[in-house]
Amino acid sequence: MGELIRSDFLVIGGGIAGLNFALHVADHGKVNIVTKSGLTESNTFYAQGGVAAVTTEEDSLNNHIEDTLVAGAGLCHQDAVEILVNEGPQRVKEIIDWGVAFTKKNGSKSEYDLAREGGHSHHRILHAADMTGAEIQKTLSTKALKHPNITVHENCIAVDLITEHHVLNNLQAAFNICFGAYVLKEDEEKVYSFQAKYTMLATGGASKVFLHSTNPDIATGDGVAMASRAGVRIANMEFVQFHPTSLYNPGGKSFLISEALRGHGGHLKNGSGQRFMPYYDKREELAPRDIVARAIDSEMKKKREECVFLDMTHLDKEDVKTRFPNIYNYCLKETGLDITEKPIPVVPAAHYICGGIITSLTGQTSMQNLFASGEVAHTGVHGANRLASNSLLEGLVFSHRAAMKVLRKRTREFHNVFIPEWDESGIIDKYEWFLLKHNLQEIQNIMWDYVGIVRSKKQLLRAERRTYVIFEEVEEYYKRSKLTTELIQLRNMATVAFLIIKSALRRNESRGLHYMQDFPDSNDKFLKDTIV
């Protein structure tokens, strides 16, 4: 088995939250960053829209706070929202100083081209064309790789957190403490013990538990699953945001069609060429995502159509190509579609988990020395529905606050515990793994069919029964198998799917992203977080 690898800080995940945390603590100690793929493969990298922040006098902090609270449908934590909005502009300025190049208005050297997206009352989205996440990821990755105190371990996947259940010479004083994580180095097929004084979970989302998702394949809920197994508190997993507009491309990979296209003036139309959003909400195409996604779902069911269409053909052609070069080129290359000439076929797809590991306003989880930030965390910012482009901002603001917290409380010594090597034995036939792969497809189909945009008690109970059987099968297989990335991800997806279903069953109302056919109204009895 692998050796013990020590550092002051262990960061699991290489997106905006993990990198930002690492960069802020690296001057004060050694940092190990563990990332499942390369540093370019994260939800951050694929974020198209931008970062929401108040940067002009026409806008105000109060406007941004109010827009966030309205989108969150009564479940946002106001203190967290105020921190997000008030500290956001400074955090954005910081990454600009580090080299992030947001798009500026034509001919301007200082004035940014601010976009507007659904739920926002003002133009406040800073963007880098339609590849904002890639620009941020590139800048932060480059800075991290140059820092002498940061070591990046690519193609590694965390297996489980190391807690008092694993360590020997355990004392009562070591209760409910995270000591690091067991990590599989895929190319070596070895599990290493990464010990750290502080561990940051920044593993991103879990939307790959659904059949159709805008997320990369790595978004398998690893952080939430590991934390849940360690007894860390989780909240609001029922609130899954389905992005209204993913490219409809049967047989091809999902591809996000940014909300910024609607903010730029795009119109949603059904197969008959009729705009339908004015019949669902007075904000039309700029209504919050939950409303737009349900409207599209409703239109598709009423018309018995496989998709709807986002029409940009009435807008200036060169302007669309300049503003959305990545989307324009992708659609042209992959489907032969010129989006300035023909409408884009789109469908909703799972996009973002609003719940996650409960944290304080400084990223602390319910386990000592364990922090969480980004999509994996539940800060209370998003409530029942995330406001567009608040996610990258949340990753910046709360990872910075977590870094400041650990630097204030920093200890000089490692806990005096012995961390045993990973015990791996009992390799089984690969053919059995081939059969078990069907469990992955079954999880995704169950979640899409029964735990999607519109739910019911009957559907959720059916999903619970079927998912529990899969969960037990996977756990049994896991206990007697040689570890692989695929097996670890499958185990985590089964765990997260079950958490989402259990949470949804406990909310007998419709609120934000959680819409129940048999409980179509909101109920103040459920005006609270769902904690598991």
Q: How close are the terminal C-alpha atoms of the chain, in Å?
A: 34
Of 23-32, 43-52, 249-258, 428-437, give the lowest mean pLDDT range: 428-437
Percent of the chain with pLDDT over 90: 77
- Whether residue 417 lies inside any domain: the answer is no
Does some domain include residue 420? no
Position with higher pLDDT, 46 vs 2: 46
Quick: pLDDT tens for 159-192.
999 998 777 665 555 678 999 999 999 899 899 9
Predicted local confidence at residue 517, as pLDDT? 94
Q: Which whole-number Å values give the CA distances from 59 to 68, 86, 265, 293, in the listed order?
A: 14, 13, 20, 27
User: Domain count of the chain?
Assistant: 3
Percent of the chain with pLDDT over 70: 95
* Any domain includes 418: no
CATH classification at residue 301:
3.90.700.10
Give the pLDDT band (50/70/90) at residue 74.
very high
CATH of the domain at 45: 3.50.50.60
- For residues 100 and 150, membership in a common domain is answered with yes
Q: Are residues 176 and 257 in the same domain?
A: no
E-assigned strand segments in 236-288? 240-247, 267-269
Kindly state whether residues 33 and 101 are assigned to the same domain.
yes
pLDDT digits (tens, 9 = 90+) for 261-307: 998 999 999 999 999 999 999 999 988 888 999 999 999 988 889 99
Which of 303, 320, 348 finishes a domain? 348
Q: Is residue 317 domain-shared with residue 400, that is, in the same domain? A: no
Top pLDDT among 147 and 259 is at: 147
Q: How far apart are CA 387 and CA 51, in angstroms?
A: 11
The verdict on 336 and 370 lying in the same domain is no
Which pLDDT score is estimated for 109?
A: 80
The predicted pLDDT at position 167 comes to 76
Of the candidates 314, 235, 229, 219, which has an alpha carbon nearest to the alpha carbon of residue 275?
314
- 366 lies in some domain: yes
Residue 512: pLDDT band by 50, 70, 90 thresholds?
Answer: very high
Q: What does the alpha-carbon distance between residue 131 and residue 456 come to, in Å, rounded to a whole number?
A: 37
pLDDT tens, position by position, 436-489: 778 999 999 999 999 999 999 999 999 999 999 999 999 988 888 888 899 999
CB 201 within 8 A of CB 232: no
Mean pLDDT on 198-211: 95
Do 67 and 49 sit in the same domain of this protein?
Answer: yes
Q: What mean pLDDT is predicted for residues 413-439?
A: 72
- Among 118, 73, 85, 137, smallest CA distance to 354 is for 73
Q: Where is average pLDDT lowest: 19-33, 416-430, 485-499?
A: 416-430
For the chain, what is the mean pLDDT? 92
Q: What angle do CA 308, 507, 281 make, to 5 degrees?
A: 35
- Clarify whether residues 188 and 306 are in a common domain: no
In this predicted model, what pLDDT tens digit does every residue of 364-408 receive, in sequence order?
999 999 999 999 999 999 999 999 899 999 999 999 999 999 999
**115 and 38, same structural domain?**
yes
Residues 81 and 154 in one domain: yes
Flag whether 51 is in a domain. Answer: yes
* Average of per-residue pLDDT across 75-80: 98
Structure token digits, residue 59: 């806008």
Whether the per-residue pLDDT at 233 is higher than 90: the answer is yes
Are residues 227 and 253 located together in one domain of the fold?
no
pLDDT at 430 over 80: no
DSSP string, 115-172: B--TT-SS--EE-STT-HHHHHHHHHHHHHHH-TTEEEE-SEEEEEEE-TTT-BS--G
CATH code for the domain of 510: 1.20.58.100
Confidence check: pLDDT of 234 > 80: yes
Q: Is 310 helix (H, G, I), strand (E, B) or coil?
A: strand
Q: What is the mean pLDDT of residues 121-146?
A: 93
Three-state SS letters, 475-514: HHHHHCCCCCHHHHHHHHHHHHHHHHHHHHHCCCCCECCE
Range of the domain at 131: 4-238+354-409
The answer to whether residue 239 scores a pLDDT higher than 70 is: yes
pLDDT at 217: 86
Q: Domain check: are 13 and 121 in the same one?
A: yes
Q: How confident is the model at residue 94 (pLDDT cuts 50, 70, 90)?
A: very high
The reply to whether 157 and 207 lie within a common domain is yes
In a domain, 299, yes or no: yes
CA distances from 164 to 3, 32, 418, 420 (A): 19, 21, 10, 11
Q: Is residue 292 in some structural domain?
A: yes
Does any domain span residue 414? Answer: no
**Do 259 and 245 form a contact (C-beta atoms < 8 A)?**
yes
User: Which residue numbers are catalytic?
Assistant: 289
